[in-house]
Structure 1
Amino acid sequence: MSEFQVKVENVVAFVSLGEDIPLTKIVSKLENAEYEPEQFPGLVYRTKEPRAAALIFSSGKIVCTGAKSIEKAKEAMTKVVDTVRDLGINLPTKFNIKVENIVASSKIDAKLNLEDIAFSLENAEYEPEQFPGLVYRITEPRVAFLLFSSGKIICTGAHNIDDIHTALGKLKEKLESIGIDVKPSKDITSSKDIKLAKDAKLAKDAKKDAELAAKRALKDAERAKD
């Protein structure tokens, strides 16, 4: 466990039930459901408690996003499957829920010079005219960091909480190797940070990135089936 405080922003979970789901049949029976096959092949179903959104596909695959913890993601997924089963659809009562992506935030008590970091570190990308954050990738565990000049950090791509802490520890070592004094913040939800427009955009973009990653994983699974 690293010394960083971590807040989970979004968990993307995935399940393959092995049974076809008639989306046109169930959409009219589900509250908070949207199905526009000409726009997207999946049915979107939102749960209120826990708050999450599920992408349900006719192949029996479901992607759940928006939960704030692994436990809540699995709870939401189970609720979605149970709800569809209660509509008379033959679905298994036991299934394996996999975590595809965790988006988490943390913070360093320092102002970061992103241009200097981009120049000093390999695998770092910084294009301020396109996006205000620096993207830094590591391969073990395979995650991507978004670093902001405020000291805000977003980690995306992890499959469990331990990977996030391991990755943050490696990030700390890399930053210290180029002369940055890394002091993990004890308060990662300060009002000052919340008011930063860049950080607000960051959270929105990171969530979108997580959803896209889940859709890519779904497409890969479909190709493997074929």
Structure 2
Amino acid sequence: MSTMGSGELGREIELSEIIEALSAEFDIEANTHGDSTVTIRLEEGGPAFTLYRTGSFQIRGTESREALFEAKEDLLDALQEIGVEFDEVPFRQNNAVYLADFGTEIQLETLAIHLGLENVEYEPEQFPGVIYRPPELGTVMLIFASGKSIISGTISREEAKKSESHLQAQILQIG
């Protein structure tokens, strides 16, 4: 699983000053995207923090909801340590991506027909997988010929497991 969340500092920030101050305190990686956005990592291989001049931020690349909220605290602690002031910071988990491996090759054309063309997008010349939106589940699944699948559209591990079980049953039906 990989999670993403976003928050708001409630004030504008000067990104070049933030990068300079964080670089003096931490061994950070920083990639600027113009003068209004920067993506940093406070530790190698750690979550990515995208900061916007407006004071909003996103966190990507944590493996659980708990780790996402811990990463938020790490970011806020680092910002406070370099003197950035802010009040209460609203933050929420926006998305999670779950991975499934069905352990078998999948005939994507056969699967697309079996799942019902009204619930599937399959254009192999555009994308190498089936995009499946089961109407009863509300998730989106990207299914690849290798037997691997990406499940998104929910932050609930239980809903992702339900989607995985549903897809497993469909794969077993087509043999």
The TM-score range, normalised by the shorter chain, is 0.7 to 0.9
Q: In structure 2, give the amino acid aligned to 1:88.
A: G
Contact 1:50 1:72 in 2 (8 A): no
More strand by share: 2
Give, in angstroms, the shift of residue 180 of structure 1. 2.8
**Superposed CA RMSD:** 2.3
Secondary structure of residue in 1 paired with 2:42 = strand
Change (3 A) 1:62 1:142: farther
Are 1:143 and 2:133 an aligned pair?
A: no
Give the ranges of 4+ consecutive aligned residues of structure 1 lying more than 6 Å apart after TM superposition: none
CA contact (8 A) 2:111 2:174 kept: no
Partner of 1:23: 15
* Residue 123 of structure 2 is aligned to residue 127 of structure 1: yes
Which of 37, 49, 55 is equivalent to 2:34? 37
Provide the residue aligned with 1:86 in structure 2.
81
TM-score (norm 2): 0.82
Say whether 1:179 aligns with 2:148.
no
Query: How many residue pairs end up in the alignment?
Result: 168
Q: Does 1:61 align with 2:53?
A: no
Question: Is the Cα contact below 8 Å between 2:119 and 2:135 reproduced in 1?
Answer: no
Q: Which residue of 1 aligns with 2:26?
A: none
SS of aligned partner of 1:163: helix
Matched, 1:105 2:99: yes
TM-score by length of 1: 0.65
TM-superposed CA distance for 1:145, in Å, is: 0.7
Q: Please list every run of 5 or more consecutive structure 1 residues that lacks an aligned counterpart in the other structure.
A: 1-7, 182-226
- Once the two structures are superposed, residues 20-69 of structure 1 have per-residue CA deviations (whole angstroms, 9 ceiling, x without a partner) of 2222321211232233425xx31211122771111111222110111222
Alpha-carbon shift at residue 115 of structure 1 (Å): 0.3
